[in-house]
Each structure stands twice: as C-alpha cells, then as structure tokens.
C-alpha cells in the first residue's frame, strides 16, 4: 500500500496569479489591514455575492460573531441553528451570551429543516442561522419567510458555499447578513479570512466599527464601546482577489468531481448515499459527503481506518452539536434524530480540484471494499 498515491481529503487550488498578487501586496509595504487589495477584495466579493457591502474579517467564526453583534443579539435571546453544523455556528451564539436552540435536518439535503425551525420558535427567538451545508444551499426562501413573519433576523452561514444560489439568488444575500470563510480548505481561500455581507447600510457601518476595535472614525484613539480586532490583512486580500478571478475555473473542476462520484457510486452500488441537491439549488461543492447505511460509529471509524491504510484521507461528519458535553441541556427538536443519525453515519470524501476521474473511481472502489471488510469483521 505504501507505494500508492496518497489522496488528501482537501487541497487548495493556488496558481501563479495568487503568488503574483501576494508579492504585489508585499512589495507595496501595506502588509497589515490597510491597502488597495482590502478595498478591491471587499468590493469584488460584494458583487460576487450580490450584496451592497462585504466586510472582510479574520475568519468565518469572527464573521458570525460580528453578524450577531451587529444585530444586537445578547443575553436572554435565543438563536435557532441546525444541529448538524460546524461548532463555530454554536460558539458564536455563546460569544454574545445568547442561547443556541437546535433544529433538525432534512434527511435528503442534510440542511436545516424549515419545519423544524418553526417548531423551535419561542418568544425569546431573536435570530435564525441558516447554514448551507457542504456546498448545497439550504431553503433560503422558506427561512426568509419565517424570519419576516416573526420579526427575527436571518443570518446565513455560507462558510462552505461561496457562489451557490437558491432560486437563482446568491447565498449570503437572502439574510440580513451572510457570513463566509476563506480557510485553506474552502473553495475561495486566503489562508485564513472571512467576510460578512449585507444590503443594509446601517448594519455595514456597524460591522466595520466593531471589526476595528469600535474606533471613532473621526477621532483618533477614541472608543465609546468594546470592539474587536477582526481585520483582514492586505496580504490575505490579495490572494482573495486572485482566487475570485479564478472562481469559475475552480468551481467547474469541483462540479466535475461531483459528477465522477455520482457515476462511480452508481457503478459500485454502495450501501451509502450522496447528499441530494434540490432543483431550486445551484450548489458549490465544498465537500462530497456520503451517508453510510445505519452503521454504528465504531464501524464508520473502522471503515475510515481501512481507507487511511489504503492512503485515502477522509473526515467524519460534524457531530450533532447537541450531543457535545458543552451544549448538553440546550433546547432541541425532540433530540434532532436526523442530525444525530447523520453525525454518526456520515463520511466526507476527498473533494478538491486536483482530483482526476481515476482518483475518484479508486476512492469509491476502495470505499466499497472497506465497507465490505468492516461488515465481515464486525
């Protein structure tokens, strides 16, 4: 096995364009949070998403924190989030001393179920966070309707789905605010980085103030509230500008990877299913996930170990957040059984633009063999 090519679960897609932009920023001597690339990236990313404003920041978690702060979410408030998401979504709610409330998932798209969101509404609900999971947009129009009916704010956590659309409208523009991540494994990467997008001018001004230590824009070193040092660097934004220009190429490569997985899954007749994308959605494939048929967590991990021995890297799905000790006792929709099931049975497969058709075929063939071996040794 040691002479087999190693297939990583993720890899950034970087080119000479990113290197040139980075060196231009370096040579300008503007290497911190001011510089022409910051302005350019924010303007171009806002246009890309379809909003009037994009406020760059240090990462996707700080973007969520800023979003909730700008909306005035605070102690005593409840924020409904999906139970199946990365921990940052819940942590950001706790950063503002609010309480996360967990809604369950759709069994086919794995995104938050709007019907479950409705069931979890209470007089204390002040915001709904709709996460677009793994690259498939959540039902943004249904979440927008709930927010409008109840007077709650809608935050879109689009960390994993830049460029995706719901009903032809870009994710991140349906909500009062939308947040993005540019971590190294994302489709658009700046190494570390994030952004908050909005069409609301007042919110945009508030976000910019909070991002920069809440400094008075007209008086040096004057602060009238607690702010945060969440600014993105000109160096990182330079990489972002180049990545944005190459986004169509990067996204098309990942669409090809998804199609190869579909072909290979059909051929292998696996006891596993891929995430479904509804007709209203235009996806941005961040990670290809597969739900293994009702396997105990020990079997899933045994399958992953076999794949690792065959030099294929994978990741388990995010654990359902309500199952984690730090979020025990939070309100859930009857324990969120679908999120719990997916958290136990899901595996993220290698997904990046450096994969070829033969790589994907090998991954699926080896997954089928690993599943068979796991069942046989149970």
Q: What is the pLDDT of residues 204-240, one digit of tens each?
A: 999 999 999 999 988 999 999 999 999 999 999 999 9
**Do the domain assignments include residue 5?**
no
Q: Which position has the token pair 């969101």? A: 117
Query: What is the total count of domains within the chain?
Result: 2
Q: Is residue 146 located within the same domain as residue 291?
A: no
72 within 8 A of 151, measured Cβ to Cβ: no
82 bridge partner residues: 103
Q: Is residue 285 located within the same domain as residue 199?
A: no
Nearest to 261 by CA among 350, 158, 150: 350
141 within 8 A of 116, measured Cβ to Cβ: no
**Do the domain assignments include residue 127?**
yes
**Do the domain assignments include residue 188?**
yes
- Mean pLDDT calculated for residue range 49-67: 98
Which domain-ending residue is among 222, 242, 262? 242
213 within 8 A of 189, measured Cβ to Cβ: no
Predicted confidence at residue 270, as pLDDT, reads 86
Residue 66 burial class via C-beta count within 10 angstroms: exposed 0-12, middle 13-18, buried 19 and up: buried
Q: Is residue 39 located within the same domain as residue 176?
A: yes
Q: Work out the pLDDT band at 298, boundaries 50, 70, 90.
A: confident
Tell me: pLDDT of 2 over 90.
no
Residue 6 to residue 16: CA distance in whole angstroms = 24
Q: Is residue 88 located within the same domain as residue 129?
A: yes
147 within 8 A of 178, measured Cβ to Cβ: no
Q: Work out the pLDDT band at 269, boundaries 50, 70, 90.
A: confident
Tell me: pLDDT of 377 over 90.
no
Which domain-ending residue is among 182, 213, 242? 242
Q: How many residues does the chain have?
A: 378
Percent of all residues in the chain with a pLDDT value above 70, rounded to a whole number: 99
Which domain-ending residue is among 200, 223, 242? 242
Digit-coded pLDDT (tens) for 157-193: 999 999 999 999 999 999 999 999 999 999 999 999 9
**Do the domain assignments include residue 45?**
yes
Q: Which position has the token pair 């075929």? A: 361
160 within 8 A of 182, measured Cβ to Cβ: no
Mean pLDDT of the chain: 96
Q: Which domain holds residue 363?
A: 247-376
Q: How many helices (H) and strands (E) does the chain have?
A: 11, 14
Q: Is residue 215 located within the same domain as residue 301?
A: no
Q: Is residue 204 located within the same domain as residue 94?
A: yes
∠105-109-114 over CA atoms, to 5°?
A: 45
Predicted confidence at residue 94, as pLDDT, reads 98
């Amino acid at each position: 096995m040691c002479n087999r090519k190693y297939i990583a679960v993720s890899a950034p897609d970087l080119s000479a364009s990113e290197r040139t932009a980075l060196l231009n920023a370096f040579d300008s001597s503007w290497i911190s949070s001011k510089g022409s690339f910051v302005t350019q990236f924010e303007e171009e990313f806002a246009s890309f998403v379809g909003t009037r404003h994009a406020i760059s920041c240090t990462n996707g978690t700080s973007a969520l924190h800023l979003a909730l702060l700008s909306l005035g979410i605070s102690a005593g408030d409840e924020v409904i989030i999906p139970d199946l998401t990365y921990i940052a979504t819940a942590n950001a709610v706790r950063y503002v001393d609010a309480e996360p409330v967990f809604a369950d998932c759709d069994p086919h798209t794995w995104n938050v179920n709007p019907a479950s969101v409705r069931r979890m509404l209470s007089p204390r609900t002040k915001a709904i966070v709709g996460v677009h999971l793994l690259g498939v947009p959540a039902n943004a129009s249904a979440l927008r309707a709930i927010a409008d009916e109840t007077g709650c704010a809608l935050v879109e956590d689009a960390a994993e789905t830049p460029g995706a659309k719901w009903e032809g409208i870009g994710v991140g523009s349906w909500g009062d605010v939308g947040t993005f991540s540019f971590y190294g494994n994302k489709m658009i990467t700046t190494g570390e980085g994030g952004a908050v997008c909005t069409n609301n001018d007042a919110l945009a001004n508030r976000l910019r103030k909070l991002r920069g230590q809440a400094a008075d824009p007209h008086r040096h070193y004057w602060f009238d509230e607690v702010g945060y040092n969440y600014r993105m660097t000109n160096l990182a934004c330079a990489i972002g500008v180049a990545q944005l220009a190459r986004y169509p190429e990067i996204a098309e490569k990942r669409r090809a990877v998804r199609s190869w997985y579909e072909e290979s899954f059909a051929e292998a007749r696996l006891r596993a299913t891929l995430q479904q994308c509804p007709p209203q959605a235009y996806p941005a494939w961040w990670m290809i996930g597969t739900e293994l048929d009702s396997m105990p967590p020990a079997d899933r991990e045994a399958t992953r170990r076999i794949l690792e021995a065959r030099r294929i890297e994978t990741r388990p799905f995010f654990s359902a957040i309500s199952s984690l000790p730090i979020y025990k006792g939070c309100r859930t929709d009857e324990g969120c059984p679908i999120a719990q099931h997916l958290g136990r049975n899901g595996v993220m497969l290698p997904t990046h633009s450096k994969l070829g058709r033969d790589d994907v075929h090998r991954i699926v063939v080896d997954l089928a063999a690993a599943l068979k071996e796991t069942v046989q040794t149970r």
